Chain A
Amino acid sequence: MDDFYREIIIDRYQNPHYQGELEPHDITFEDSNPLCGDELRIDVVLDGDERVMDAKFSGRGCAISLASADLLLESIQGKTLADVKQLGKEDVLELLGIELGPVRLKCALLSLKVLKAGAYGMTEASDELVE
């Protein structure tokens, strides 16, 4: 259909698998992309071994930011918190399978930024988390 908007991105944007909120949750964090008004919140529930039992995202944003959130949260199911903290920019780009310029990259990485800020227990998310 389009080099950029692969089927998987449109699919996950229109029919996300991990959208919603989790109450109660062990981790929650929200942030926004001031460039465009993308807003994202991620909730995570861990099991006894600190493995991700469930994770959901909510908020609003473009297809890239929301599809990347959905794919990211799918990829961390069953992972340990330590694994989550190790995730980087390349992991997200691999999930999306597309090349992004520096402005649009911020959309794709918003979910990773929010997830890692929550995993690290930070009060504010920084771009360093996704460098």
Chain B
Amino acid sequence: MEIYKPSDVVDVNKIQADFPILSREIKPGVRVVYLDSTATTQKPLQVLSVMDEYYRRSNANIHRGIHHLAEEATALFEEARIKIANFINAPAARQVIFTRNTTESINLVAQTWGRKNLHAGDLIILTEMEHHSNLVPWQMLSAELDLRLEFIPVESDGLLDLNVYRQLLEQDPKLVAFTHMSNVLGTINPAAAMTKEAQNAGAKVLIDGAQSVPHFAVDVQELAADFLVFSGHKMCGPTGVGVLYGRKELLEEMPPFLGGGDMIKRVELRSFTSNSIPQKFEAGTPAIAEAIGLGAAVDYLLDIGMGRIAEQEQVVVNYALERLAEVPGVTIYGPEAKDRGGVTTFNLNGVHAHDVAQILDGDGIAVRAGHHCAMPLHDKLGIPASTRASYYLYNSVEDVDKLIDSLYRVKKIFRI
């Protein structure tokens, strides 16, 4: 059956030209085909130049100095915070806390909100498809406080079993934490609905937006999330900066996380008082250039438009699913196209994921092989590892063709 090859809905060549690394030849004549954006994304010149310019022209420490450079740096930093707040439609910029990454944001909530508000026997609802960063902090807290952790199961169609979710909600949960979009299955969970049901049951909700925020428009007010977390480096921003968004009342009553400079109002020898939000949770000199870089990434993405980015990704992932399904011996994990974002994780019979990835690498194609920081999910799927190809605004339908050609080469080398 002929698969209809769709057209890209954005000018991918023009976008690719913004990303210097994408013109790199991994070996002579072989340009990199980057299909690992779920792990980290590439950065456009528009972000790189802003960070470079900051260090060349405006670098100074923020919030304290009154000299010209310090004022400029502070303004740039706080402007970035406002950009990010607008990007997720947060009610106020002070509700956007800069952290190191999603993992740190979740640990922050666990160690401050969690420690203060949870008691022995309290229930936290998670899911079987969570990334380790939304599992381990709760496991650690649970060991400290003797909590109960229960998990919404993943069904064979890659979707969460919402019937079990509703049963768990009847057990007086204090917190529900789940991924908006799975980094393995690509499943986009019905976050707004799940959040509403959780809050009706009296629980707070933390949404892991590490994969969703970069790939489609996410509105914290529409979701009514209590907490939303995500990373800069997964959305064309630099590493070293992430975000915790929280409801104002929650953030205000949470105790501080790290102690030190800037998060204080007043310090005596033996005591201190905390600063108000957001500084309360931003101890020490932050990743200033990186936060400003993340602001520039937001500008870049909005310039193209999150709607168009999401649409392009849907075109590419739909095509990828169709072409992958045609390769004999390939098993694809996760839901059908309409319920997923740009991630395709699969296995090829008779070849270990590592070997698939290695041969693809020989063709310049970058994919990820392993358990993708989701061991429990792999245990549930009954597989030790898988190969993951993920797509973002700089990937085209041509990239899918290259991936498939390379998979046929794997089959040839392994004589299958």
Contacts and interface: CB of A to CB of B under 8 A. Distances in A.
Contacts, number: 55
B385 A37 contact: yes
A52 interface: no
Residue from the set A37, A38, A104 with the largest chain B CB neighbour count within 10 Å = A37
Interface string A1-28: 1111100001000100000000000000
Contacts of B384: 36-39, 60
Given A37-B385, A64-B354, A104-B354, A10 B415 contact: yes
Interface residues on B, range: 10 to 19
A64 B370 contact: no
B353 A2 contact: no
Interface in B351-400: 351-355, 358-359, 362, 369-371, 378, 384-385
Contacts of A88: none
B413 interface: yes
Contacts of B414: 5, 10, 14, 63
A36 B413 contact: no
B359 A4 contact: yes
Contacts of A4: 358-359, 362
Nearest to B383: A37
Interface string A29-63: 00000011111000000000000000000001111
Interface residues of A, number: 19
A115 interface: no
A36 B353 contact: yes
Given A35-B370, A36-B371, A1 B354 contact: no
A63 B358 CA distance: 10
A63 B351 contact: yes
Nearest to B351: A63
Interface in A103-122: 104, 107
Contacts of A1: 412-413
B413 A62 contact: no
A5 B413 contact: yes
Contacts of A38: 352, 354, 384
A35 B352 CA distance: 13
B362 A3 contact: yes
Contacts of A107: 354
Interface in B24-73: none
Given A14-B415, A36-B385, A2 B362 contact: yes
Nearest to B369: A36
Contacts of B415: 10, 14
24 contacts: A2-B362, A2-B409, A2-B413, A3-B362, A5-B355, A5-B358, A5-B359, A10-B413, A10-B414, A14-B415, A35-B370, A36-B385, A37-B371, A37-B385, A38-B352, A38-B384, A61-B352, A62-B354, A62-B355, A63-B352, A63-B354, A63-B355, A64-B355, A64-B358
Interface of B: 351-355, 358-359, 362, 369-371, 378, 384-385, 409, 412-415
